[in-house]
Every structure is written in C-alpha cells, then in structure tokens.
Structure 1
Amino acid sequence: MSFRPAVIAAVVIAAVFATAAPVFAAESGPTWAQLSAAQRRALAPLQQDWPNLDATGKERWLSVAARFPKLSQAERQRVQERMAAWTQMTPSDRAQARLQFQQARQFSPEDRQARWEAYKALPDDQRKQLAERAKPPKRAASRVRDDEDDDDGKPKRNIVATPRPQAPKAVAPAVIQAAPGATTTLITSQPSSPAHHQSGMPKIIATDGFVNPVTLLPRRGPQGAAVRSQAASEPR
C-alpha cells in the first residue's frame, strides 16, 4: 500500500529527533515501567537508553509505538532494526542524520515518495554505497599528524631562527660614510647655497661698518638700497 513508506519515513523522522540527555536525579517523562506492555514491545531496542532520553524524545518515540500495530511484521522488524542502529550512533552521527532530515523536508511528499521508490529499486551493493557515503567522515590519527606538518613534510617549529649577520659593504671612494642618523654626501656633487641665500644677492656682512648696531639694518651696500629711513616712512 502507498501509506507504508510514509509510515516508515515517519519512524525515521521520529528517530532523528530523539536525542539523548544527561542523566539527572529525577528522570524526565514517563519511565520504562510506566509504559504499557504494547509500548515496551514496540520500543524494546530503546530500553537501555530510555532513562537518558528527555521528555520530548520520549513523546516522539511513543508516537512511533502508537503506529506500530498498523505495520506489517516485516515493517516492524525494519523499524526496530533502525531503533537499534540509532542507539549505536554517536552524537555527531545523529547531528548528521538530523541535517539530512531537514534537507529532506524541502521536498514535497510526492517527490519524497518517488525518491523512496527509486531507492528501493536499487541493488543492495548500491544501497550500501549510499549508506557509507552518508556517514560523516572519521578523522584518523594520521590526519592530525598531517596538520602538524608543513606542506614539505617537515614538522613545524615555533622557534624563530637567528638572522645571519650581513657582510660589510664596500664603500666607494667618492662616498663619505657617516654615522647612523646622518646622510652621505657625494664628493663630486656641487655644494648648494643655504635656503636663505637668494640667487643674485650677495651675502650680508655683519660688521659695524655695514650693519647699524642699534637698528641692525644695513648701512651701505646693495642691501642698504632697499632700506628706507624711519623719517621717510613716517607720514608728515
């Protein structure tokens, strides 16, 4: 019948959402002894892990047990086999199964039914290959060792190597070598005048004959021509 795969899919969905919780002093949800005989027969593979399940996980498994009488004998055996496999899964495997369930919910019921029929039509060897491919990869010890090595196969070292001392460089005859912080000047370069010496103007001679010691203005020479006396500059 067409509803059989849907019932089995519901069983898988319920198994995906069943998560283990830490053991507390007071068990959450109904205990194994509080279940009915029919519920204990349906959920027999979960007897050992039942005290570790939280209340939400127990409710989902009880909903699976409620649909258990409607299944055929072969479907009941298949569901209990998946229960036993779920108890052997690691937390990472359960997280991967939960992720696959979230991805499967994106398809419509008709699409899921068609995919289920296509899966049942596959040979056993291809089913095993798909099951192995769906398992999360296990990190081997060699992978950890590879991460500790460089790309060239040499182990990593956190010690910084001491830099090699640089060989002294030969100084050319035309270069004056100065101490650190100073610059070097080529002997062949032409000396340049300071910035305050304008081109075409002679250098000011600061002697008493040329500079007035009171006003500090030039008395004669080319510089004195541009200086006006105070009397000439004041308005009359």
Structure 2
Amino acid sequence: MDTPLSARRLADTAALLADPTRAAICLALLDGRAWTAGELARHAKVAAPTATSHLNRLVGAGLLAEERQGRHRYLRLAGPAAAELVESLAQFGGVAGVGVAAGSLRGVRRGGELARARTCYDHLAGALGVTVTEAMTALGLLDDRHGLALTAAGAHWLAAAGVTVGPGRRAAVRACLDFTERRPHLAGAVGAALCAHALAEGWVERRPDSRAVRVTAAGERALGELLGVRWEAAS
C-alpha cells in the first residue's frame, strides 16, 4: 500500500529534528535571534561544512529562514509556527534548561536563570512569563475560562501601556505550557508584542549567550505599576 502524501510529509518533517546537530541548532534559535552559520557550528560542536549541510536542509524544508549581509549568513527560525513546533517537541521530550551544561556549577546557575525569566522564541517565559500571565488574568485583561483570550479591558490596557500588536494571521493570544513552571504563559501576537515592548523599554535585558533575561529596576517598577506585581531582581 502506498504511504499517503500527508504521512510522508509528516515523517520528513520529523526526520529534520531526529538528528542531534539539527536539533541543537533549532533549540539555540529559540532565543528568537538570528545567528551566523559559524556561531551555530560552534554551538553544535561540528565543523563549518557539516553545519552548512544541516542548515541548507533546514532552510530548504522551510524550518529556518536565512539572510545574507556581506560575507555573513544569518539564520533564524522561519516564524512562530516553527518555534512552536520546536518548543512543543522539546517539552514532550522533557528538555529543560536548553543550552545548559548539566552537572556543572555554571549549568546550575544558568538553569536557575532560565527558570526565573527567559524568552520562549519571541515571548516571555519562566516564572516571569507565568507571573505576568496570571496577573493579567486576575485583572481581567485575559480570560482563561474557555482557553486564553484577550478581553476588551486587555486591549485598552495594551494601548494605554504603549504596547503595539502588529497585524497578521497569527493568533492574538495563545497559552504556551511553560516547561519549568508547568503552567501556561502568554504567547501569540500579544505575547510577542509585550516581550518586544519590555525589551525596547529596558524593562528586561538579555543575559549574554542565553535565552535568560533579567528584570531591571525599571521593569520592577513597570510590573508594580501596570500589573500590581512585586518582583525582586536577581543578580
């Protein structure tokens, strides 16, 4: 019996991430930024030609997008759907603390930073993301009675806070199960806009070479004023 086309396509997609090198590349790109081919090769601990072969396959399948600037080739996940696929598979496989060296003091510290506050592709995650989501729900800005939804009050709150949600076919709000908190955090277009605004306003700042972020003093004030959240920054 011939295998249905849909089944073959599903198998082909699954095979892309069945290779440890390609999986490592995609997990690294969950930080939402574009990496050079050389950076991804070093991260995956493979030679540049080997990385190029894997990257070409991921780009060809539509999982990654590339952009060239001069001699550099930058790569990123192709979009929210690709990020959600990788994140969901990581959660299903019990991957926690992506990019953390298990068993080392540095790994323990990095794992704690990721659990406290990080980005999940383009939205806030970890204890910070869950805390923001639950505070918005408690204030009636989100409604979780029939799946997470933005309320009219939430739309007004976003506008008042200066958070601009860009147009597009992406779902406005989506609940993403947090792999460390085991509770949902806010994803979708609203989650992405809120994260982008927090970074632009200096409420959070990225930690080097990590998906972890740190809440700044300005961010502590914003959380308190806008959501009634008391957040103490960790050094």
TM-score (norm 1): 0.20
Greater Rg by CA: 1
Higher strand share: 2
Larger relative CO (CA 8 A, sep 6+): 1 or 2? 2
